[in-house]
Amino acid sequence: MSLADTARKIKNMEIRGAGRIARTCATALKEYSESLKTSDLKTFQKEMESAADILLQTRPTAVSLPNAVNIVMKGVRSAESYEEALNSVRKSAYDFVESSNAAVRRIAEIGARHIRDGDVILTHCNSQAAIACIIEAHRQGKDFEVFATEVRPRKQGLLTIKALSDAGVKTNFIVDSAARFFMKQVTLVIVGSDAVTANGAVVNKIGTSQIALAAHEARTPFIVAAETYKFAPRTITGELIRIEERDSSEVLDKSVSLTLPNVTVRNPAFDVTPADYIDLIITEQGVIPPEMAYIIIKESLGWEISDFDV
């Protein structure tokens, strides 16, 4: 698949999910680097930066994407020869994909420990990490059931219920607005994340913050499953994560919109859940309270405030 095709599929949500997007970008950069017909370092670096920029423009909210791109591009930018730059892309991309998949497996092992017999779990959207926790607990023989939301307007919940059903997990499928109604039955909420800020707030699929608020009201534990590369280094300095607003046609057909000249359709793809509503964040490095997010950025991602021009 060409780089342009990859970018288009990510932007159109044919490729979706923060982890999958990150791995796809790393692989796309590797394949693009091998397709370039040059052995000149400067030309190679320029072409790779252009490719990185194309990928970075596709989904502005998912921090996994720029983190993956920067990990792969780091060696390119510091290379002193074409061969060194090319080999760096190959190795960095391979290592990132391997570590990303390993991170999900590790999160599943840790997350399954927090699921008990008799639990009623609610999950929102289609998080590979969150689903992996649930499926691993089921694999261990624990007896529980799941409520999965529809996830308007793109209905990612259909992917979630298929994965859970295929794994043999007893699952209830509900509309997003029914989350608070069923919260009185829920004993644990597990969701994924598209970004975790330095203060422990979590950016995730639109509707997550409302579920977190309902869980907080009901005193139901709210857990986030997030690989460390989803933590957002630039939020250390107060930089805000831009919330992507997608085309109105995802919500209301354009033919209908044209008959409603006084109506504006708003379609934010994500929202921000405050750290106060989050009990734990499960990473491949272990479990942390949200207020320790800065430690992950500093120790696992290797960023310091001094790394930024402030």
Active site residues: 125, 194
Question: What percentage of the chain's residues is helix, strand, coil (to nearest 5)?
Answer: 50, 15, 35
Interatomic CA distance for residues 128 and 121, integer angstroms = 15
Question: Which residues contact residue 277 at a Cβ distance below 8 angstroms, ignoring those fewer than 6 apart?
Answer: 209, 212, 213, 215, 216, 222
Interatomic CA distance for residues 44 and 48, integer angstroms = 6
Residues forming beta bridges with residue 286, ordered by sequence position: 283
Distance of CA 93 to the CA centre of its chain: 18
- Cβ proximity of 137 and 170 under 8 Å: no
Burial of 235 (0-12, 13-18, 19+ CB in 10 A): buried
Burial of 187 (0-12, 13-18, 19+ CB in 10 A): middle
**Would strands 202-205 and 188-191 be described as parallel, antiparallel, or unpaired?**
unpaired
The candidate with the shortest Cα–Cα distance to 187, out of 144, 157, 150, 149, is 144
Interatomic CA distance for residues 282 and 190, integer angstroms = 10
Interatomic CA distance for residues 195 and 187, integer angstroms = 25
Interatomic CA distance for residues 46 and 52, integer angstroms = 10
